[in-house]
């Protein structure tokens, strides 16, 4: 799986959009970008994933650059409950290794009043 680089921490005011960047310059053509988050003392929670098109769901939007070397997770209206560590993971979608995720250190997002 390709290596990812994320900022260690970020702050965001409540109600504003939180934009979390991820660099994956060595990504291969068949690797997907996944985002998970982990709220303190809970298990990680899946947010969104994509291959090359931008994706949106009820939680967030994922913007992948045209060259796929980086991506941004957008939480449109951050709330205090979005305070968590956000992990960007790049991986091939393969049956045999589907559940083997390589978590990095992630970005600690602090949402403040």
Partner 1 sequence: KAGVTQTPRYLIKTRGQQVTLSCSPISGHRSVSWYQQTPGQGLQFLFEYFSETQRNKGNFPGRFSGRQFSNSRSEMNVSTLELGDSALYLCASSLGTRYTGELFFGEGSRLTVL
57 is an interface residue for partner 1 by CB under 8 A? no
Sign, CA dihedral 46-49-89-71, equals: negative
98 is an interface residue for partner 1 by CB under 8 A? yes
Identify which of residues 8 and 113 has a Cβ nearer to partner 1 in the complex: 8
Q: How many residues at the interface with partner 1, by CB under 8 A?
A: 23
Tell the smallest beta-carbon distance from residue 11 to partner 1 (Å): 22
**What Rg do the C-alpha atoms of the chain give, in angstroms?**
13
Burial of 18 (0-12, 13-18, 19+ CB in 10 A): buried
- The single residue among 49, 61, 72, 108 that binds partner 1, judged by CB under 8 A, is 49
CA distance 107 to 71: 14
Residues that bind partner 1 in the complex, under the rule CB under 8 A: 32, 34, 41-46, 49, 87, 93-105
């Amino acid at each position: 799986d390709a290596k990812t680089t994320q900022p260690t921490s970020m702050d965001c005011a409540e109600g504003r959009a939180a934009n979390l960047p991820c660099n994956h310059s060595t990504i291969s053509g068949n690797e997907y970008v996944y985002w998970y988050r982990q709220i303190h003392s809970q298990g990680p929670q899946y947010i969104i994933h994509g291959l090359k098109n931008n994706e949106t769901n009820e939680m967030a939007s994922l913007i992948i650059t045209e060259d796929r070397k980086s991506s941004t997770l957008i939480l449109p209206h951050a709330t205090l409950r979005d305070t968590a560590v956000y992990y960007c993971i790049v991986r091939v979608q393969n049956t045999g290794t589907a559940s083997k995720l390589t978590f990095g250190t992630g970005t600690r997002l602090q949402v403040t009043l």
